[in-house]
Chain A
Amino acid sequence: MTAAIIDTATLAKVVVYSLLAGVGISVLFAVGVSSAASVADALRDRRTAAGAAWVVVFVLSAVVVLGIVVLGIVVMSTK
């Protein structure tokens, strides 16, 4: 009776999508912040190659975070 009223499959999707998007964005953004700090450290210590590598990580994390946001809006607006 209760299972018939409550659409558990859809609610489970809400839980999974929320966890993936919410935790994913925070973790990826933290990667970006961490790599930005590493870029600053590397430049201060004159480690150019390491700095360049961290710049790549920073740019990648920023692109992925923005990509997730854009993807979310596109999925939402798909009627």
Chain B
Amino acid sequence: MQSTILVVLVVVTALAFDFTNGFHDTANVIASAISTRALSPRTAIALAAVLNFAGAFVSLKVAATVATGIIDPAKITEAVAFSGLIGAIIWNLITWYFGLPSSSSHALIGGVIGALLAAVGGSGVNWDGLIGKVVVPALIAPVLAFVVAGVSIVAVYAMLGRRRPGLVNRGFRLGQVLTSGMLALAHGTNDAQKTMGVITLALVAHGTISADHVYVPTWVVLCAASAIALGTYAGGWRIIRTVGTRIIRMDPAQAFAAQSAGASVILASSHFGYPLSSTHVISGAVMGAGAAKRLSAVRWGVAGNIAVAWVLTLPAAGLFGAAVYFLQQALGAGVLGPMLIWLVALALLASLILVRRTRFARAAQAS
């Protein structure tokens, strides 16, 4: 009975994480469409929400990597999955509050690995998988997006340099509806699957799914898709501001190139099962599109802050995951500990949302 209550708690927490993932970084994908006025904020967020939902159904390879390629599913318990999720949510909320577009994906992986290290030590982690499928792609992906966006915009400017800017801008604004949609679809494909992977791990720990034949149940896909879509619709304004305008101000052609580069990198990586950070990729693409035009156009200070958040995410979320695991053990083996931790996390989430809404309302009144 206790095990069942715990697994229900893990599923609810995972879906809450998925919600914060959407809340925290899904809006990155449409930030540049908003900054160039290709789409109104509400339309862009609604489009992103719908296509994130659809994207979650496109592939399950990333979920398989999270469930079986990075850690040993046989070593996972409900308590580890729960602690990892709470650790990731705490780190997500901290970076969201300070407006840093850090990676929700790496927070989730870091949280689960931190909790697993606290529970069973290094034997539960597939270090080769972690390096080969998470760390190396995490380093390559933003650079690749930077290069693809840079090459794209150089080619586009070479072709359209003598055209009237008005018509070119109108054309690329229209095109951004397509690339924003593609990027949102790509995000749903890659990000929603990580939550599916963690829920699947909890179901393996509970015995609902055999560790020998790990698969993602349809209801898990449906719930994860719904949670990330709702999270996307509910928030993301602070991060939109950072990625859309504070890294670089873009023209519609640059934004188009950045979005198509980001979508291509995320979709290609998802196809091969790499759990990438969409935040890393789109930030790299935005900087590439900016730097190709003029190096000084990129606000490297803001980009540096984002890079610091990237570096910190895996270890910081891991520390929070481990801390939550130890706290849970200190509170006892039953469901009381997880319930208390869950309520505290819920209170933290509610208070931060309240603070954000109050500030947003004040900003709206001031403008």
Contacts and interface: CB of A to CB of B under 8 A. Distances in A.
A14 B261 CA distance: 12
B267 A72 contact: yes
Given A37-B168, A75-B271, A11 B151 contact: no
B156 A14 contact: no
Contact of A79 (B60, B128, B159, B257): B60
A30 B147 CA distance: 18
A77 B58 contact: yes
Contact of B148 (A5, A18, A65, A75): A18
Interface in A1-53: 4-7, 10-11, 13-15, 17-19, 21-23, 25-27, 29-34, 36-37, 40
B326 to A, nearest CB: 30
Contacts of B155: 23, 26-27, 30
> Interface residues of B toward A: which range?
35 or more
Contact of A36 (B148, B171, B260): B171
B261 A5 contact: no
B268 A26 contact: no
Interface residues of A, number: 35
A29 B175 contact: yes
B contacts with A: majority SS: helix
Contacts of B253: 30
Contact of A14 (B131, B159, B171, B269): B269
Contacts of A10: 272
Interface in B99-151: 128, 131-132, 136-137, 140, 144-145, 147-149, 151
A26 B144 CA distance: 16
Contacts, number: 123
B264 A34 contact: no
B132 A6 contact: yes
B271 A36 contact: no
B189 interface: yes
Given A33-B163, A76-B270, A15 B144 contact: yes
Given A22-B148, A76-B267, 6 more contacts: A17-B271, A26-B261, A30-B156, A69-B178, A73-B185, A76-B189
Interface of B: 57-60, 128, 131-132, 136-137, 140, 144-145, 147-149, 151-153, 155-156, 159-160, 163-164, 167-168, 171-172, 175, 178-179, 182, 185, 189, 253, 256-257, 260-261, 263-265, 267-272, 274
Interface of A: 4-7, 10-11, 13-15, 17-19, 21-23, 25-27, 29-34, 36-37, 40, 65, 69, 72-73, 75-77, 79
The 6 closest A-B pairs by CB, nearest first: A22-B264, A26-B152, A33-B171, A22-B148, A21-B264, A22-B261
